Structure 1
Amino acid sequence: MKKIYKTLLWCGLLLVTAAGIFSCSDFLDKEADAIVAEGEAFKTFTNFQGYIEEIYNCIPDKEKNYWTTSWNWGDDEVFNIEGNWHMTNQVDLGNFWAWQAGRLSQPGIWLDKPTTSPTSTNKFEHALWPHAWYSIRKVNLGLANIDKLIGTEEQKNLIAGQLYFFRAWWHFEMMEYFGGLPYVDQVFPADKAPMLPRLSYQECANKAGEDFARAAELLPIDWDKTTVGTKTAGKNQLRANKIMALGYLGKNYLWAASPLMKNGASLGGGNTYNYDDTFSRKAAEAFGQLLALVESGQTQYALVQFDYKNIYDHEEADGVTSKFSDIFYTMGQNWLMPGSTEAIFRGPSTDVNGSNWNTTKTFGPKVEGIVEHDNIIHQPTANYVKFYGMANGLPLNDPASGFDPAYPFKDRDPRFYHDIVFDGFKYVNASMPADMEYLRYAGLHSNGTMRGATNGSRTGYFIQKLVPHTANKYDGAYNWSGNLHIYLPYMRLADIYLMYAEACAAFDGAAGRATNFSKTAEDAINTIRDRAGAGHVHASYTGNREKFLDEVRRERAVELSFEGYRFNDLQRWLLLTEPPYNVKTSQEFDRLENVDFFKENDPKDARVANFREVPILTRQFGTRHYWFPLKVADVSMYPEFAQNPGW
C-alpha cells in the first residue's frame, strides 16, 4: 500500500496530537515498502512510534462503524422490524455467516467490511477481521526490526511493550468470535499465506498470555510519568500501558478457563459451571495485581461516582466530579471523549459530531419523528431487563426480594432508573407543540403510544444508558450545540472487578481470592454494588458456588448492559443455546394511571395490571453456533486452517 503512513499525524487523533515528539512528516512521505526495506521506520523512537500509531488507528469503533450499527448479539436487545437486516437479527435467525462483508448488505459491519483502510480517518473504514491480520503483520515486522532502534532503554521498552500488547490484543479479539486460530508470531513473505495450523483456544491463550505478560513488564502504568510521555502529558490516555496489559492478561486467561473453552461446545448447559482451575487462578492473579495497584492509588484509574439528584435526566448530585454516564457519553464538554477515570482501553474517537450520524438517533421512539433520521431503534428485551433486581440486592424471582408485579418499577436496583426508559417516564423535557404533548410521557404499556413494532418499542422499554433520552427532536441533545460525544470502551474498571470475582469464584466460590489482592470474589461484587447504591449479595447466595456464580453473572448483565459483552458471555458459559437465554420477550401490562399521575408523581410508583412476559422469538441454535464460521476463501488456503465445526 503506497504512502501507508501518510495520515499518521492526523491532527484530530489524540495519540499523535503532540507533533513536537512524533512529528515525522519526512518519514511519512516515503513509500511504505521503501521505509521498511531501508529500516527508516525503526531507527529512531519518533519514527518507530509513528509506525505503531497506525495500529491504534485501526481499532474499530463499534458504535459509530456505520450510519446505524449493531453490537449486542446476546439475549439483551432487539431492533424494530425495519432494523431486521442488522446483525442482531441475523444472529437471532442463526445466520452467523452474516458477519462477513458482502452478505446481506454487511450487517456485521464492525467485524468485516468490503473496503477498509488502516490510514483512514473515516470511522466507517475500520473493521476487526481485516485490520487484525494487517496489524499483526505490522507488529511482527516491528519486533523483527527492534534491534535497529537507537534509543534509551525506556524508549526501547515502550516500543516493544506496545508491539507485544497489540499482537496479543488483535489475536484475542478474533479468538472471542472464531475460537483458536493460527497464532502468527513471525514475519512471513507478504505474497504467501502463513502455513500455520489452527491451535486450540487454550493453546492460543497461552501464546497471547505470554505476549500480554511481556507487555505488562515493559510498559509503564502512566505514560505521563515517563521521560518520553512528559512531552505529551495529558494526551497519553489511549496509549497501551501496564494496566491495559494486566487487564487483558486476566481476561485472556478467564476466557480460556471458561466452560466452552475447557469443555467444547455442547447442549444442555451441564458444563456451565465447569471451569479450568489453572487458568482461573492465573486470571485471578493478573486481575489481583491490577486491582491492588488501583486501590493503593498507584494508577490513574478509579471507579466513577454514581450519585444523581435526578437520575432520569442523568443530572449528577452536587459535588460529583465524575459520573457514571461519563463513561459512555459526554455533553457540553467540548466533545470530550467519554470514559472518565474508569475506561481502561479505548480506540480513537475524534470525529467531532460523528456520534450524531446516527448512533445518538437510534435509541428512542420514531413516532411522529420525536427522534429523527433513520427508522432504526435499539431496544432492550424484557427478559434482559429482569436482570435488574431490587434495590436490596436480590433478584426479582427471589421470594424475599419484595418485587410486586402490581408495582413492577418500584424499589428497583438504582441502575434500572439510569439505564432503562419505562412506562410513564418523562421522555421530553422541553416545550412541544400542543398536538405532540401526548408523547411527552413514554407510553410503553400494552398498546401504548410508543409500542408500535415499526416505530416504537416491541418490548415495553427503551435504553438510555449509552445515549440520553434528551437526544430527541425537542430537547435537542444531539444538535451541534449539545457537544454530545459517545464511545464504548473495550475495557473498564468495573469489568475488571467482575471478571476478578468470576475467576475467584470459579475455583473457590464467594470466598475465593487471589494471593496478591485482599478482596474476595464476594467483596469485588459488593464494591460495584456499593458504587451504585444496590444491596450486597445476600447470604443465601454466598454459601453455594453455583448460586454465587449465578449472581456474578447477573451482576455482569446489569453493570455491563448493552456494552457488547453479553453474546460472548453466554457463549463462553455454554448458555447461548439454552433456555431461557435463547428466548427474547416483551413486557405486557395494562396502565392503571392516567397521564396526570405522571405529571405529579414518580413513574416508578405507578400501579399496573396484568404484568406478564410474552415471547417475541426463540433462537434455534445448535453447537455450531458457539463459534462464527470462518471465510470460505480463508479456510481454502491450506488444509491446516480448518473451518469451525458445523459450518
Structure 2
Amino acid sequence: MKKLAIAVITISVLMALLTACKKTSFLDQTVTSSLDENSTFSDSSNAMQFLNNIYVDIGFATDPRRFSNTGGTYGAGLEAASDEAEGPNSASTNGFIQFATGSVNPTVVPDDAWRKCYADIRAVNQFLKHIPIIPFNSALKKQVAAEARFLRAWYYTMLMQHYGGVPLIGDTIYATADHIDVKRNTYRECVNYVLAELDAAAADLPTTWTGAQYGRACKGACLAVKARVLLFAASPLFNNGGMAAGNADLASIVAYPDADPKRWQLAADAARAVIALNAYQLFVDSTSKPGELGFGFTELFTKRYNTEYILPRMMGDNKYLESLWDVPSRGGSGGSFPYQEIVDAFPMSNGLEITDPASGYDPSHPYANRDPRLGYTIMHDSTMRVTFGTNQPSPLLLYMNTSVTPAVAASGDAVYKGTPTGLYIYKMVDPNVINNSVGNTSRVLPLIRYAEVVLNFAEATNEAVGPTTEVYQSLEAIRQRAGLRPWQLPAGLNQVQMRTVIQKERRLELAFEGFRFWDVRRWLIADQTDNQTMHGMEVDRGPGVVYKPFVVRKHTFSKAMYLWPLPLPEIAKSPELLQNPSY
C-alpha cells in the first residue's frame, strides 16, 4: 500500500524531556515519558507538555548545526550551503557540501525538512483532536488551539520554502496501515491554507508574551509569518511556474502558474500590519558603549529578551554558538567559516562600497572604518577579544608567520590551522563567554526579528510601487542602527537601484541567520551567487603586512537546486508524488 512517510511518532517520543532548557520558560516543564494517549490528554500538565514539545523543532531549518555528522563533532547550517561560509570538514559527505558542490540529488538530500515537519504537523492534529477532553478552562483551550494552529502553519511554511507545494493533510491523523492521498497540493492552495491558519490563530492570541510564556506563538508572530509567506509568494521563484515553467504537471505545484503584481502589495500590507502593532522596534543601545557605533546590533543577540525578537527559539543557559563558531583557543569545535566575499560586501562606515574610489578604503588596512556590522559579524585577523577575567583586549592571531622559513601559522586559531578561510563567525557569539572556561549566556536564537519585517516591508513596497519615502525610511532606520554615518541613501534611486540596495542590506543585516540561502533562490539569482569561486584571506607578517586572498572552493549550482528534491524514499513509496523539476 502506498504511503506518505509521515512519521508516526509515539507519544513517548513526543513527551521526551527537553533537557537543555534550564532558564525559566514554558519549555522547562518536565513530565514522565511512556504515557498512553488517555493519560497524556486527560492530565492538564501532560497535555501542555505535549504541546510544548511541538515547539522543539521550530528552529531546525536555520539551526547552525543542522548538517551535523554522526556524533555531532562538527556541524554547519544553511550558511555553509550558500555563498556565506565554508563548512567544517568539507571533504566529508554531508548536506551542506552537497549544495556547495552541486551534488545534491533525491538519493542523498537530507530528509529533515520532510520528516520533522510532517511529524510535528501530525502531532498538532493529535493535540487538536483531543482538546475537548483536556481539563483546561475554555479560555486556555482557545489559546492552545491557536498556538497549535500557528505551529502547523509554521511547519507547512518550512515545507513550502524547501519544496513548493506539498500534500496538505488537514486535521487527519494517519496510522501506518492507512492509505494516504499523496498528491501534492498546488502552491496556491498551500499559501491560502497557511494564511487562513495564521489569521485564525492571530485572532485568539495576545500580541506578545512576557515572563515564562515568552517564546510562545503570539499575534505578532502570526502576522510576521504571514508577511514572510506572502513575500515568498510574490517573489520570482514562485511566479510564472517557477522552475517548472512549461511543465503542465508541475507549474502550478511548485509556483503560481501566473504572475500577479498585486502579490507584492499583499506582502507589503502584511508587513505593515506587524509594524502597526507598535509592539516591536529595532534594538538600539547608544549608552552602554557610546564610542562603539551600532553596538545595539550586536548586543541584542546576547539578550534573552529584547524589543526586536518576535519569535525566538527558546534555550536554557548555554554556550551553543561559542562551542561552534568561536576560535579553537576559546573552545570552538568547528562550525562554518565566512568567505572573504561577504567581508568585501560590507561597505565603509560612510556607506560607500569599498570599490568606490571616494570610499576611503585602504587595502593595507582593510578592516579600518568599515560598516560596524562587519566587526560584529565576523572575526578576522587582529579582531580584538577580551581575555576572560580581564579587561585587556588582545588581538586574534590568525595570520601566517612569514618571519620564519617555511612560514607557519601564528597560532592554533590561524589560517590553515583553525580556519580554512582565515575568518570566523562572530555574530550572536557572546564575547563574555568562553566555551572551554566558565560562563554561560541566557541567549535565545532569533527565528523572526523586527529587522526582517522592516526589510520585508521595504522590499515588497519597492516592488509594488517603487522606492517611496517609506522604503527609504525603512532602510535608513536599519542603516542608522547599524552605525553607518551618514546612514542616508542617495536621493532619486529608481526601483532597480533600490532593489539592489535592499538585497545588499538583507545580506548584511541578516547574515548567518539562515536567510541568504532562501533569498538568492526566491530572487532567482542563485545561479550567479552560488556559481562562484569563493576565497579566504591569508595575512602574512614579515617585514611588512600583506593581505593575500586565496581560493577556498568553487561552488557549483544547477537550476534544479532552486528547490530541494523530495527524498527518494517518498517518491519510491508513492509514484504519484511528483518530483521537483530537473531531478
TM range (shorter): 0.7 to 0.9
Deviation at 1:347, TM superposition (A): 3.0
What's the offset of the Cα at 1:643? 1.6
In the aligned structure 2, how far is the partner of 1:400 from the partner of 1:577?
Answer: 31
Point out where structure 2 has 5 or more consecutive residues left out of the alignment.
Answer: 1-9, 67-71, 246-257
Aligned to 2:348: 390
Report the aligned-residue RMSD.
3.8
Q: Which amino acid aligns with 1:645?
A: P
* Contact 2:387 2:394 survives alignment (8 Å): no
Task: Confirm or deny: 8 A CA contact 1:498 1:525 kept in the other structure.
Answer: yes
Q: Deviations over 1:596-639 (max 9, x none)?
A: xxxxxxxxxxxx66x67544333222111111221111122323
Residue identity opposite 2:345 in structure 1: F
> 1:630: which partner in 2?
566
Is structure 2 residue 165 aligned with structure 1 residue 204? no
The code of the aligned residue for 1:63 comes to P
Q: Distance in 1 between matches of 2:556 and 2:400?
A: 28
- Aligned residue among 477, 484, 490 for 1:527: 477
From 424, 427, 441, the counterpart of 1:465: 427
Identify which of 479, 487, 496 aligns with 1:546.
496
Counterparts of 1:14 and 1:572 in 2: how far apart (Å)? 38
- Give the letter aligned to residue 302 of structure 1: Q
1:197 CA drift (Å): 1.6
SS for the counterpart of 2:428 is coil
Alignment equivalent of 1:341, drawn from 307, 327, 334: 307
What is residue 260 of structure 1 aligned with on the other side? Answer: 237
Cα distance in structure 2, aligned partners of 1:147 and 1:545: 52
- Tell me the CA shift for residue 572 of structure 1: 1.0
Distance 2:460 2:272 in 1: 10
Counterpart of 1:645 in structure 2 is 581
How many angstroms apart in 2 are the aligned matches of 1:372 and 1:174? 35
1:20-39 → structure 2 map (5 Å cutoff): 30-32=35-37, 34=38
- TM-score normalised by L of structure 1: 0.73
- Give runs of aligned pairs for residues 238-637 of structure 1, distance below 5 A: 238-263=215-240, 264-265=242-243, 276-294=260-278, 299=279, 301-307=280-286, 316-317=289-290, 323-329=296-302, 338=304, 340-350=306-316, 352-353=317-318, 355=320, 359-366=321-328, 370-372=329-331, 374=333, 376-427=334-385, 429=387, 441-443=397-399, 449=410, 454-468=416-430, 477-479=434-436, 481-484=438-441, 487-511=444-468, 520-534=470-484, 535-539=486-490, 542-579=492-529, 582-587=532-537, 613-637=549-573
Q: How far off is 1:526 after superposition? A: 1.1
SS of the counterpart of 1:293?
coil
Which amino acid counterpart does residue 379 of structure 1 have in structure 2?
F
- Give the whole-Å Cα distance in 1 for the aligned partners of 2:274 and 2:385: 40
Deviations 1:68-95 (A, max 9, x none): 2211121000135567545333321113
Which residue type is aligned with residue 304 of structure 1? F
- Conserved 8 A contact 1:394-1:537: no
Question: What residue is the counterpart of 2:115 in the other structure?
Answer: 130
Quick one: percent identity of the two aligned structures? Answer: 25
Alpha-carbon contact 2:322-2:332 (below 8 Å) kept: no
125, 129, 146: which one pairs with 1:140? 125
Q: 1:2 to 1:497 in 2, by over 3 A?
A: closer
* Helix, strand or coil at the partner of 1:510: coil
Of residues 499-508 and 612-621 in structure 1, the stretch that sits farther from structure 2 once superposed is: 612-621
Q: Secondary structure at the match of 1:345?
A: strand
Q: Tell me what 1:78 maps to.
A: 86
Shift of 1:420: 2.2
Give how far 1:13 is off.
7.4
Aligned mates of 2:184, 2:73 — CA distance in 1: 35
CA contact (8 A) 1:575 1:581 kept: no
Cα distance in 2 for residues equivalent to 1:6 and 1:76: 36
Report which stretch shifted further, 136-145 or 76-85. Answer: 76-85
Q: Deviations over 1:423-447 (max 9, x none)?
A: 3333563699xxxx99854427997
Task: Label 1:292 to 1:83 Cα distance change in 2 as closer, same or farther (>3 A).
Answer: farther
What displacement does 1:580 show?
A: 7.2
C-alpha change, 1:248 and 1:616, in structure 2 (3 Å) is same
Residue 250 of structure 2 corresponds to none
Partner of 2:153: 168
- Assess if the C-alpha contact under 8 Å between 1:306 and 1:532 holds in 2: no
- Mapped partners of 1:440, 1:492: distance in 2: 31
Q: Distance in 2 between matches of 1:593 and 1:248?
A: 55
- How far apart are 1:399 and its partner, in Å? 4.5
- Following superposition, the deviation at residue 340 of structure 1 comes to 3.0
**Unmatched 5+ stretches in structure 1:** 113-127, 225-233, 268-273, 310-315, 331-337, 472-476, 513-519, 595-607
Given that 2:534 and 2:554 are in contact with CA atoms closer than 8 Å, whether structure 1 keeps it comes out as yes
SS of match in other structure, 2:310: strand
CA deviations on 1:464-491 (whole Å, 9 max, x unpaired) are: 12325676xxxxx224521245543211
1:199-238 to 2 correspondences below 5 Å: 199-224=185-210, 234-238=211-215
For 1:620, what is the secondary structure of its paired residue?
Answer: coil
1:227 maps to none
Quote the Cα distance in structure 2 between the aligned partners of 1:9 and 1:84: 30
Tell me what 2:7 maps to.
Answer: none
